[in-house]
Structure 1
Amino acid sequence: MSLVAGRGPISADPLGWFVPPLAAEVAFVEPHPRRVQGIRAGHAVIDTEAVLLVHRRGHPLGYAFRSDEVGDLPTQPLPEAAGFVTVPWTAVDAWYEEGRRLVHYPPNPYHRVDCRPTRRRLRVSVGEVVLVDTDETVILFETSLEPRLYVSPAHVRTEVLAPSSTTSYCNYKGTAAYWSLAGEGRSTADIAWSYPDPLPESAGIAGHLSFDATKVDVVADLPSGVSSPPCGCG
């Protein structure tokens, strides 16, 4: 969802700026030449390669299909492309793109994940208890999102962590497992997560942990960058 999510270029809070500025109501529609299937009750009710991707401010990334290829599914016309309609994500039981089952939204061709070994320091603590203090980290750059530091469990006091039942899924990193603090006289749920078996583009963080700064004290040496338009141009 990189154009419309996070701080993407047509999100509600873009990191960069356009000159001249874009209109408040903006959409980018493009051909998406991949086979997309929508499965309901075990049958493909959509099976087509005539697909559009719709990037619209204030909305998640979505598909649009020719109106004669969606059967009796609920639809809305796509104003930007005559003869095309959108279908609610929940109108089918499962979506597939070229054989890969999708979760939450289509994968975005503009979304990229880069995992780079770095010497950026990460310190994680709970009160006086230090869980991590190392500069042997991996920095994850993900389009439209803030960079994150991940660390090998070899540098974590894993003896005070316990696996959680919580999981989550990312179309670019895979299924995350969570860890809770369960030692030192404290108990805090889901303070960290890791991707035991990440998707290929995120292989560089396999098994590494990242920490939730809303639940523990995190000091991370992250890039500062440029935070506002120079010369008053945006």
Structure 2
Amino acid sequence: MTLFAARGPLGPEPAGRLSVDIPDDVVLIEPHPRRVQAIHQGRKVIDTERVLLVHRRNRPLTYAFPADEVAGIAGEPLPEAPDHLVVPWDAVDTWLEEGRRLVHYPPNPYHRVDCRPTTRHLRVEIAGSRLVDTRETIILFETALEPRLYVAPHLVRTDLLRRTETTSYCSYKGVATYWAAIIDDTTVEDVAWSYDDPPPESSPIEGYFSFDPSRVDMHAELPSSTGDRSTRHRVPPSSS
């Protein structure tokens, strides 16, 4: 996703600029020297290290495989490399890359997550109640995305939070658990999220909380390129 997503160099809102215009239909195809396996109905239909990664604008990152490496499952020829096939993600039951099970899309070699302990200030309030007010934070830098602050549970009014049924998945941070704030008669859904079992590159934020600025009153001290983020969110008298 990274090159062609969000603030990536070929994304819809690039952080930088190119010295020449790039066509909207540009495609990047590159070798991907990792072992990729696909399992369908209990058997391997792909097991190869001869993989191509295909990057397109406004499209998820995809694998392409030599036609002779795809056995017993349908694939579509890749116009830019006709001897290769693109297998739809949902055409198999399980995708593995170097033994790691994948969800939704291949991990991107250009995507990086960097978690750094910091003294950047984070203050979060809802309906007049303060959930967080600390300079003991971790800042998470993630390629093509704006940085975010995370905070340890002991610095959060977790007595005002309740786990919700909402979840999401990120190849670089894992499965997110979401939390609602319950303050007197007011309930605001999914104000925060946390990762119970992140992959190694994101392990410093294991169990830490980050907050949705669109759902809370928040001041977050962010790098000068993005500026301090202060938001005011009007909470109805009762949104439960």
TM-score by length of 1: 0.91
* CA distance, structure 2, for counterparts of residue 102 and residue 24 of structure 1: 28
CA contact (8 A) 2:146 2:226 kept: no
The equivalent of 2:5 in structure 1 is: 5
User: Residues 160 and 184 of structure 1 are in contact (CA less than 8 Å); yes or no, is this contact kept in structure 2?
Assistant: no
Corresponding residue of 1:142 = 142
Question: Structure 1, residues 45-75: CA drift from partner, whole Å, max 9, x if none?
Answer: 1111110001111111110001122234332
Within 5 A, what are the aligned runs for 1:66-105?
66-105=66-105
Q: Distance in 1 between matches of 2:145 and 2:11?
A: 12
After TM superposition, the structure 1 = structure 2 runs for residues 140-219 of structure 1, keeping only pairs within 5 Å, are 140-219=140-219
Q: Which residue of 2 aligns with 1:232?
A: none
User: What SS class does the counterpart of residue 23 from structure 1 fall into?
Assistant: coil
* 1:19 matches 2:16: no
Root-mean-square deviation (CA, aligned residues, Å) is 1.6
Deviation for aligned residue 1:112 = 0.6
Indicate if the aligned counterparts of 1:10 and 1:26 stay in contact, CA closer than 8 A: no
Higher mean Cα deviation, 179-188 or 134-143?
Answer: 179-188
- Matched to 2:173, the amino acid is K
Asked which structure has the greater RCO (Cα within 8 Å, sep 6+), the reply is 1
Distance 2:226 2:181 in 1: 35
- How many angstroms apart in 1 are the aligned matches of 2:176 and 2:226? 31
> After TM superposition, which residue ranges in structure 1, 4 or more long, deviate above 3 angstroms?
none
**Where in structure 2 are there 5+ consecutive unaligned residues?**
228-240
Paired position in structure 1 for 2:234: none
1:44 is displaced (CA, Å) by 0.9
- Give, in angstroms, the shift of residue 23 of structure 1: 1.8
- Give the distance between the partners of 1:42 and 1:224, measured in 2 at CA: 51
Aligned AA (1:86): V
Instruction: Indicate the percent of aligned positions where both proteins have the same amino acid.
Output: 58
Structure 1 residue matching 2:154: 3-state secondary structure: helix
Letter in 2 for 1:3: L
Q: What is the CA-CA distance between 1:192 and the residue it aligns to? A: 0.7
The 5 A counterparts of 1:39-118 are 39-118=39-118
Unmatched segments (≥5 aa) in structure 1: 228-234
Q: Which moved more, 1:78-87 or 1:27-36?
A: 78-87
- Following superposition, the deviation at residue 226 of structure 1 comes to 7.7
What CA distance in whole angstroms lies between the structure 1 residues aligned with 2:102 and 2:172? 11
TM-score, length-scaled by structure 2: 0.89
CA distance in 1, matches of 2:15, 2:8: 7
Moved more, 216-225 or 105-114: 216-225
Cα distance in 1 between the residues matched to 2:10 and 2:203: 29
Residues paired across the two proteins, number: 227
Shift of 1:7: 1.4
> 2: distance between equivalents of 1:149 and 1:184?
27
Mean CA deviation greater in 75-84 or 34-43:
75-84
State whether residues 129 and 183 of structure 2, in contact with CA within 8 Å, keep that contact through their aligned partners in structure 1: no
